[in-house]
Amino acid sequence: MNYFYFDVETCPINKEEYLSRTEEERKKLLNPIDSKIVAIGIQINEDVPVICQDASEKKLLEEFWTEMASFRKGDPSNKIVGFNVKDFDLPFVVTRSFINNVTIAPFVLKDIIDIRECISAFKWGPVRGKLKELGEMIGIDIDDEMDGSKVAETYWAGNIDKIIEYLKKDLEITAALHKRANELRIDQIQRW
C-alpha cells in the first residue's frame, strides 16, 4: 500500500483587510472565499516531498490534481492521508479549484485517512491537539519560529522558501503521525 500525504498553505487575498483585523478576526478570513492557496506539499510514502508552488494559484492547483490523479491510477489500495484534511485542506482545494476553473481528480471521502479524525476516534466537536503538538509528543523536533498564523505575512514578505520549508516539516510530521497510527492500527478506525 502506498500513501499520498499532502498539506496546504493559504493566505488571505486582501492584505489590507487582513492586517486591519485583530488576531481573532483574522482567523475568519481563513476560508476558500477570502483566502487563496499559496503552496501545496505532497509526499508519497517516504519520498522527497514535491511542493506545488506558483504565482498562479490555478497552475499550482492543476499540478496538485495531476499528482493526485497519477498516484490514484496505481493500486486501488493506495491511500490519501493528511491531518485535518477532511475539515480544511480538501474543502479548501476543491473550492479554490472551482473558483479557478480547475478540473479535479475525484475521490471518495471514506477512502481518505484523516489522522486527526483517527486519533480522536471521530469525536464530534472541537478536538484538542494540533499537528505540531502531536508531533512533539511523539518525539519530533519542532521549529517554533514558524506556524500557520505566520504564513500570510511570510508570503507577503516574499519569503516563499520559508513557507516551503515549513510545509516540508508539516509533511514529515504528518507521515510520522500516520506511521504511529498505522503501527497501532488507529488508522483503521472507521466512522461507519
pLDDT per position in the chain (192 positions), as tens? 899 999 999 999 999 999 999 988 988 889 999 999 999 999 999 999 999 999 999 999 999 999 999 998 867 778 999 999 999 999 999 999 999 999 999 998 888 999 999 999 998 877 788 999 999 999 998 877 888 888 999 999 999 999 999 999 999 999 999 999 999 999 998 888
Structural domain boundaries, residue 46: 3-188
Which residues are CB-neighbours of 79 under 8 A, at least 6 positions away?
1, 2, 3, 4, 111, 112, 113
Q: Which of 91, 83, 111, 95 is nearest to 33 (CA)?
A: 95
**Positions of E strands within the chain:** 3-12, 35-44, 50-52, 79-82, 112-114
Looking at the whole model, is its pTM more than 0.75? Answer: yes
How many angstroms separate the CA atoms of 192 and 178, rounded? 20
Which residues are CB-neighbours of 90 under 8 A, at least 6 positions away?
82, 107, 109, 112
How many angstroms separate the CA atoms of 105 and 52, rounded? 16
Residues in the chain: 192
How many domains does one find in the chain? 1
34 exposure class (CB count in 10 Å sphere: 0-12, 13-18, 19+): middle
187 exposure class (CB count in 10 Å sphere: 0-12, 13-18, 19+): buried
pLDDT reported for residue 34: 96
Question: Within a 13 Å sphere around the CA of 46, how many CA atoms are in the beta-carbon half?
Answer: 3
Which residues are CB-neighbours of 108 under 8 A, at least 6 positions away?
none
pLDDT reported for residue 105: 93
Task: State the cell numbers at 135.
Answer: 508531533
CB 143, CB 135: distance < 8 Å = no
Q: At what angle do helices 57-72 and 90-99 cross, to 10 degrees?
A: 120
CATH number of the CATH domain containing 73: 3.30.420.10
Question: Within a 13 Å sphere around the CA of 94, how many CA atoms are in the beta-carbon half?
Answer: 12
